[in-house]
Structure formats: C-alpha cells, structure tokens
Amino acid sequence: MKAKDRRLAELRRSIPEVSPEEALAMQKAGAALVDVRDTDEIAQGSPTGAHRLGRSYLELRVEEAVPDMDQPIVVMCAGGVRSLFAADALKNMGYTKVHSIAGGFSRWKNEGRPFEVPKMLDAEARERYARHILMPDVGEAGQLKLLNSKVLLIGAGGLGSPSSYYLAAAGVGTIGMVDHDVVDQSNLQRQILHREDTVGLPKVESARRALLALNSKLNFVAHETHLDSSNVEEIFSGYDVIVDGTDNLATRYLINDACVKMGLPNVHAAVYRFEGQLTVFWPEYGPQHGGCYRCMFPNPPPPEMAPSCAEAGVLGVMPGTLGLLQAVEVLKILLDIGEPLVGRMLHYDALGARFTELKIRTNPNCPYCREGAEFPGYEDYAQVCASTKS
C-alpha cells in the first residue's frame, strides 16, 4: 500500500464524509461550505454561498471567513480527495466539526445542487493585483469591487496627482478628474502627474496620459471645466467617492454642499507650507459622523481676508503625503474596511514630524448636514484662494 493510500484511509476514518445532499442541508442549517479548489476550477462554477478560499492559503484565510471554531464546516474539492486533506488541516487548526463532501463538486453538479459561476478576475488582473488578492481584507472580491468603483478627484494638482496615481495603480476602475487649468512650469515641483513635455497642455489631458501609461485598463473621465453650482450635481452623479484636492475656497464649499446633498463621502485634504490636514466628511456615515465642512467653517471669509494664491507657499512633497493619505481613505471606503477618518481631523506637522488627531464637532444646527435639513441651495462664492493651497 502506498503512503498516499494509507494516509487517505486514515483520513476517511477520522473525517466524516457527507453527500452533497447532506452538505446542502447542513449549509442551510448554518454550516460553512468551504470550496478549496483552485481559481481556474472555481471559475467553472462553485456552490452558491460557498467560501472560495482555495487550498494554498486555506489556513491563512479561513479564520476571516469562519471565526467560530465550533461552527460546522463542510469542505469541498473536485472529487472528494483534496477536501479530506484540507478538512484534516482545519481540524488541526482547532475546528471541531469538519466534514468532507464525498464526490466533490462533480457529484454536487451532477446531482443538480445549486451553484453559480462567480465573477472572477482574468489571469492578467490576478497577476497584476496579486499583492491585493493575498490580503483577506481585499481578496479577489475586493479587487473586483475596486475595478467596479468610480472615484472623482477635484483638481489635477498637488493632491490629485499622487492620489489618482495610486488609485489607478490599485485598480480603481473609473477615475474622473475635474480641472480647467493648463500645466505650468511651477506645477512640476509637486504635481507629479505632469511632466516637462506636458507643460502647456490641459491638466486633465496631461493626467490622462500619465494614468493610462500606468494602467491602460483604466476608464479615465476628463471633466475639463470649472465646477460651479450649475454643473456640480451632473458631474458628481455616478461616482462613489469625491476627493477634494482643490486649492480654492469657493470650490471647497461647493464640493461640501453637493456631497452632503448627494450623500457622497468627501475625502478632504489641504496643505500649507509644512503642514497638512486630512479628514473625511460623510454625514451619511452615521450618528457619530462628525459633520461637514460647514460645521467647522459655516461661511467663507470675505475675499479681502483670504491670502492670495501666490503668497501661499508649500513644500513640494507635502501634497504627496496628504494626497496618498486621501488615496488610503478612498480605498478603505470602497472596500468597506477599517475606520474611515470620519469625525476626526488628522494634522501633519512636517517640521516637527508629528501627526495629531483632532476631534471634529458636528454643529447640531448646521443648515446643511443636520438631521432632516432641507437643502438650503448652492452659493456661488467669489473665487478666492484657500488659506491652504494644494
């Protein structure tokens, strides 16, 4: 008798085997059905509601899917052999009620048990996003979510450059950018999407070239226009997240008001010299939402009080740091993982090398985001530079 056969015989004695019919009944009663076949096998079909964990990373991924060691598990492979070894591994991890499906998926399918052909990444995408897929928090399902996501960046400047670049790299399927400016020599000190050979081109065109060179599958939507109250809702509609990388206050208020009205998360950042700040305004998030931009600053200062754009200097890497933190918040929101930076303001002091977190207080009387507020309408403020410049 070969070692393999001896081992199989042992496993058959220690792991209870169930028929597909019994497995389905167990699944309906709350058991986890774990499919341990390879990705290319699963692409042909997998039981409805199964956890598709594969065999290679089973031990690393199973606790995310089945945190309760006493929850019954039925393990499936193609023919019922690999599932015995996998079930044994789960037993060794401490799972107490592990079963193997005799006959595997081929018998499951032949008997007409329910299965589906899951949406899967193609081989190229699987290779490209391999480092994402390895993480249980993202996985193939998360990567598919990113590919189906739509993110709109306001401003193709200092903040929009790094955030869009990394979001395109991460596989966000659709990236829109709003900007009506052209690339200037003085932008190159920090706006890394643009290059010497795109000086003089519209920023959205320069951005399009850079982002598509990085990821040719990206759906890039250029909005070469000035954002105002007449077009903001039309431009925002269809996007999942808005990234505020603007350098002027009138636009910042407009973004805030539209996001509050449309229920969109507004990932906000601003930089000034050696300092930066970051938060997520998202009243829809829940009772502890931390309010909106107008809770902090109900109205813009009069134009004569605002510093001129030319006065506000910035260290070139600052928008890089803050823009990347914006990209992180966007990915967390899209993947629904971690704690979004809602109700908290992160302040970065580069000279002191310090991050500080401040709590944002919701204004319970905020005319824009208070519970049950009737939208007060948009204000087209005179264009003034923000005290912080991207």
Chain residues binding Zn ion by CB under 5 A are 291-292, 294-295, 366, 368-369
C-alpha–C-alpha distance, residues 91 and 62, integer Å: 12
Which one is catalytic: 309, 366, 369, 385? 309
Give the count of beta carbons closer than 10 Å to the beta carbon of residue 67.
8
The sign of the torsion formed by the CA atoms of 277, 310, 299, 304 equals positive
Instruction: Name beta bridge partners: 355.
Output: 348
Closer CB to Zn ion, 270 or 318, in the complex: 270
Q: What tokens does 267 get?
A: 């990932």
Measured from the CB atom, the residue of 83 and 266 that comes closer to Zn ion is 266
233, 194, 254: which is closest to 378 by C-alpha?
Answer: 254
Residue nearest to Zn ion (CB): 366
**Quick one: 272 or 282, whose CB is closer to Zn ion?**
282
Interatomic CA distance for residues 232 and 255, integer angstroms: 8
Which residue, 222 or 373, is less far from Zn ion as judged by CB? 373
User: Please, which residue, 84 or 259, has the CB nearer to Zn ion?
Assistant: 259
In single-letter form, the type of residue at position 339 comes to E
Q: Nearest distance from residue 146's CB to Zn ion, in Å?
A: 29
Q: How far is the CB of 258 from Zn ion (least distance, A)?
A: 13
From residue 113, how far is each of 104, 153, 245, 262 by CA, in Å?
11, 46, 51, 43
Cβ at position 253, least distance to Zn ion in Å: 11
Minimum CB separation from Zn ion for residue 195, in Å?
A: 39
CB of 327 to Zn ion, least distance (A): 25
Tokens of 211: 């982002």
Q: How far is the CB of 242 from Zn ion (least distance, A)?
A: 16
| Burial classification of residue 282, based on how many CB atoms lie within 10 Å of its CB (0-12 exposed, 13-18 middle, 19 or more buried) | buried
User: Residues with Cβ < 8 Å from 350, sequence gap 6 or more?
Assistant: 274, 275, 276, 315, 317, 318, 321
CB of 160 to Zn ion, least distance (A): 24
Alpha helix locations (H) across the chain? 3-14, 20-28, 39-42, 58-65, 82-93, 104-110, 123-128, 130-133, 139-147, 160-170, 203-214, 232-236, 249-262, 293-296, 318-335
Is residue 295 annotated as part of the catalytic site, yes or no? no
What letters, b where the CB count within 10 A reaches 16 and e where it falls short, cover 376-388? Answer: eebeebeebbbeb
Query: Where does residue 227 rank: exposed (0-12), middle (13-18), buried (19+ CB within 10 A)?
Result: buried
Compare residues 264 and 292 and give the one whose CB is closer to Zn ion: 292
The smaller minimum CB distance to Zn ion, of residues 129 and 368, is found at: 368
Q: How far apart are CA 54 and CA 241, in angstroms?
A: 32
Question: Which residues fall within 8 angstroms of residue 75, CB to CB, at 6 or more apart?
Answer: 34, 36, 83, 86, 87, 90, 98, 99, 100, 101
Annotated catalytic residues are 309
